[in-house]
Amino acid sequence: MTQLKGIRIMIIDDHPVVRAGLASMLKTQPGVEVVANVSNGLEALALLETAAPDVILMDLRMSGMSGLDSIRAINLRPEPPRILVLTSFDTDEDIYQSVGAGAQGYILKDTPQEQLLEAIRLVHEGKRYFPADIASRLTERMARSNLTPREHQVLQLVAKGLTNKEIGQVFGISDNTARNHVNSIIEKLEVSDRTEAATIAMRQGLVSMTD
């Protein structure tokens, strides 16, 4: 069984039931102190200095200030606490952006308690924690992070089913230039055609169909 000793924890999650459950579980662990239990990043920043947490359990989707923005803001502080993302969302883009913002670990809310405690322990010790499947997807996503801003825009339209001609009309460029962008995307994503590029993009969260 994982033993946690001398760890001050802050919980940031906009669901009161989730916060209460986590706090209740953590309070049963000897040597662990839940020093703050807040609903968003703004509340966390206001308490950060006085609460002085060692590890923050951070949700991603929150009103007021997103988890990603909260991670970035916290990491601007001198000697920031370690951050372990604890979320229900696991798109490749969520994972990639969280690490880029400065999170030291990423774990899902349905993870068994023992695994969560192990993640907290390792992150507190200065290490990183990513379950094997998430680590594999993070590696793959990082290898595919070299699309240009325009290529990201074109990929969004490819995922919506637009032709090269229609993409050219959107951006005021020639059909040939649009085709070159699409071919570059296909090459960088290491896929065989635009349909596969769209499928990969949606699966990894590179594009949003609500835009």
The reported pLDDT for the residue numbered 1 is 62
The reported pLDDT for the residue numbered 209 is 59
| Domain 7-142, CATH homologous superfamily name and number | Response regulator (3.40.50.2300)
CA Rg value for the chain:
20
Burial of 41 (0-12, 13-18, 19+ CB in 10 A): buried
d(CA 121, CA 40): 23
pLDDT in tens, 62-79: 888 889 999 999 999 989
- Give every residue of the chain whose pLDDT is below 50, as ranges: 211
The reported pLDDT for the residue numbered 76 is 93
Q: Which residues does residue 108 pair with via DSSP β-bridges, in sequence order?
A: 87
Fold of 145-204: Arc Repressor Mutant, subunit A (1.10.10)
Give me the residue spans of the domains in the chain. Answer: 7-142, 145-204
Which of 78, 76, 41 minimizes the C-alpha distance to 56? 41
